[in-house]
A and B are shown apart, each in its own frame.
Chain A
Amino acid sequence: MSQKIRRSQPLLPGETGRFAAILSGVILFLAVTPILTMIVMSFSGSANLDFPPSSYSLQWYKAAWQTFVSPDESDVLSLGKAMTTSLMVACLTMIFATLIAVPASYALTRCEFRGKAFAMQLMSLPLVFPMVVLGLALLLVFDSLPFQLNTSRLVIAHVILALPFVIKNCTASMMTIGSEVEEAAQMLGASPTRAIVDVVVPLMKSGILAGMLLAFIVSFNEFTVTYFLYNIDVMTVPIWMYSRTVSSLDPTVFSFAVLIVLIDFVLIWALEKLVGEGGVSF
Chain B
Amino acid sequence: MTGLILENVEKFYGSACAVTDVNLHLPQGKLVCFLGPSGCGKTTLLRMIAGLETITSGEIRLDGEDVSHTPAHERNFGMVFQSLALFPHMTVGENIAYPLKLRGVDKAAQKARVTELLAMIQLQQMVDRPVAKLSGGQRQRVAIARAIASHPKLLLLDEPLSALDAKLRESMQVEIRQLQKQLNITTILVTHDQREAMTMADIVVVLGEHRVQQVGTPIEIYRNPANAFVADFIGSGNIFAAKALGGGRVQLPAGDALDVPISDTIKAGAEIRMLVRPEDLQLSRSDAAAVNRLNGTVTFIRDIGATIETTVDCGGVSLTALSTPNQSLGLNVGHPVSVTIPAEACRVLSA
Contact = CB atoms under 8 A, between A and B. Distances in A.
A188 B52 contact: no
B68 interface: no
Interface of A: 178, 180-181, 183-192, 194-195, 198-199, 202-203, 205
Nearest to A189: B102
Contacts of B150: 188-189
B98 A188 contact: yes
Interface in B66-94: 71-79, 81-83, 85-89
B146 interface: yes
A183 B52 contact: yes
A187 B149 CA distance: 12
B87 A199 contact: yes
Contacts of A178: 83, 85
Interface in B18-75: 50, 52, 71-75
Greatest chain A CB density within 10 A among B50, B87, B147 is at B87
Contact of A189 (B76, B86, B87, B89): B76
A199 B99 CA distance: 13
> Top 4 closest A-B pairs, CB basis?
A184-B85, A188-B99, A180-B85, A189-B102
Contacts of B99: 188-189
Contacts of B147: 187-188
Contact of B72 (A181, A187, A198, A199): A187
Nearest to A199: B87
A180 B50 contact: no
Contacts of A198: 98
Contacts of B81: 180, 183-184
B83 A189 contact: no
Size band of the B side of the interface?
20 to 34
A178 to B, nearest CB: 6
Contact of B88 (A186, A187, A191, A203): A203
B270 to A, nearest CB: 49
Greatest chain A CB density within 10 A among B73, B98, B147 is at B73
A183 B156 CA distance: 13
A142 B309 CA distance: 83
28 contacts: A178-B83, A178-B85, A180-B82, A180-B83, A180-B85, A183-B85, A184-B81, A184-B85, A184-B86, A184-B87, A185-B87, A185-B98, A186-B71, A187-B72, A187-B73, A188-B73, A188-B98, A188-B99, A188-B102, A188-B150, A189-B73, A189-B76, A189-B99, A191-B71, A191-B73, A192-B73, A194-B102, A199-B89
Nearest to B79: A187
Greatest chain A CB density within 10 A among B76, B79, B85, B150 is at B85
Contact of B85 (A181, A192, A194): A181
A203 B147 CA distance: 21
Interface string B153-168: 0001000000000000
B107 interface: no
B103 interface: yes
Contacts of B98: 185, 188, 198
Contacts of B78: 187
Given A188-B98, A188-B150, A202-B89, 15 more contacts: A181-B87, A184-B85, A185-B98, A186-B52, A186-B72, A187-B72, A187-B75, A187-B77, A187-B78, A188-B73, A189-B102, A189-B103, A189-B150, A198-B98, A199-B89
Given A183-B52, A184-B79, A190 B102 contact: yes
B89 A186 contact: no
A129 B225 CA distance: 67
Contacts of A203: 88-89
Contacts of A205: 89
Interface string B103-121: 1000000000000000000
Contacts of A189: 73-74, 76, 99, 102-103, 150
Nearest to A187: B79
A49 B320 CA distance: 94
A181 B77 CA distance: 15
Given A203-B88, A203-B89, A186 B73 contact: yes
Given A183-B72, A194-B102, A188 B83 contact: no
B80 to A, nearest CB: 9
A208 to B, nearest CB: 13
Contacts of B88: 203
